[in-house]
């Protein structure tokens, strides 16, 4: 539902930017560029049909990534690949990244959002949990939403493929603001919604 609202809002954005766009949307872009190192030896691929399915991968340190694609999320069969990321450079968060995964085919947009679940040994208070995504190979990083999970896992809704990660930062960490100054309108909308959800979780 969250990602669907963002996508539909994008149809109205061009006119808003030309006129009555809010300040946060019309502000000058200052995109964050990440450099990511992939552990291709631990890549896992699976052909997923429009009926949906799940593909999972595990990093060397035991972090498990699981991407569940719902029925009708794809228009046709696709080979989906998850590749754990061993290092992220350029992330403007004080606590850096605990877990990041690259998802391919890069640039694929789903018809319905998938759910990425990250199982890590890191125990982080909800107020300091922060998720992020990036375009292509690390371009235009943005804030991503974290949804509640009774098991303590991190769940991130995914509509666009490239990379997603999870880290730690204080609620007032400047890096949270930096990740909202994206060049992509869709990413800026997702970042804004993510920031609001984070504030709600903190309350």
Dump pLDDT digits (tens) for 92-111: 999 888 899 999 999 999 99
* Integer Cα distance of 138 and 34 in angstroms: 5
- Hey, how many other C-beta atoms are within 10 angstroms of the C-beta on 21? 16
pLDDT category at 25 given cuts 50, 70, 90 is: confident
Q: What letter would DSSP give residue 28? A: P
pLDDT for the residue 21:
63
Please say if the pLDDT value at position 147 is more than 60: yes
Please say if the pLDDT value at position 90 is more than 80: yes
Please say if the pLDDT value at position 168 is more than 70: yes
Please say if the pLDDT value at position 14 is more than 60: no
Please say if the pLDDT value at position 159 is more than 80: yes
pLDDT category at 17 given cuts 50, 70, 90 is: very low
pLDDT category at 3 given cuts 50, 70, 90 is: very low
pTM of the model: 0.86
* Integer Cα distance of 23 and 63 in angstroms: 38
| Separation of first and last alpha carbons in the chain | 22
* Integer Cα distance of 6 and 1 in angstroms: 9
Instruction: Please give the residue that has the higher pLDDT: either 70 or 15.
Output: 70
Residues above pLDDT 90, as percent of the chain:
66
Q: What is the mean pLDDT of residues 38-46?
A: 98
Does the bond joining 197 to the residue before it have cis omega, within 30 degrees of 0?
Answer: no
Q: What is the mean pLDDT of residues 172-199?
A: 90
Burial class (CB in 10 A: 0-12, 13-18, 19+), 106: middle
Instruction: Please give the residue that has the higher pLDDT: either 180 or 126.
Output: 180
pLDDT category at 20 given cuts 50, 70, 90 is: low
């Amino acid at each position: 539902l969250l990602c669907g609202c963002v996508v539909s809002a994008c149809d109205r954005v061009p006119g808003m930017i030309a006129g009555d766009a809010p300040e946060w949307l019309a502000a000058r872009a200052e995109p964050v560029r990440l450099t990511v190192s992939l552990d291709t030896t631990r890549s896992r691929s699976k052909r997923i049909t429009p009926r949906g399915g799940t593909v999972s991968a595990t990093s060397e340190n035991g972090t498990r990534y699981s991407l569940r694609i719902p029925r009708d999320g794809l228009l046709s069969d696709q080979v989906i690949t998850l590749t754990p990321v061993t290092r992220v450079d350029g992330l403007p968060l004080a606590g850096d990244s605990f877990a990041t995964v690259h998802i391919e085919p890069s640039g694929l947009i789903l018809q319905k959002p998938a759910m990425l679940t990250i199982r890590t040994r890191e125990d982080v208070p909800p107020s300091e949990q922060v998720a992020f995504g990036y375009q292509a190979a690390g371009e235009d990083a943005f804030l991503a939403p974290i949804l509640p999970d009774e098991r303590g896992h991190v769940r991130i809704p995914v509509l666009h493929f490239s990379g997603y990660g999870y880290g730690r930062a204080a609620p007032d960490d400047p890096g949270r603001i930096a990740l909202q100054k994206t060049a992509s309108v869709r990413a800026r909308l997702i970042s804004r919604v993510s920031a609001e959800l984070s504030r709600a979780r903190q309350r």
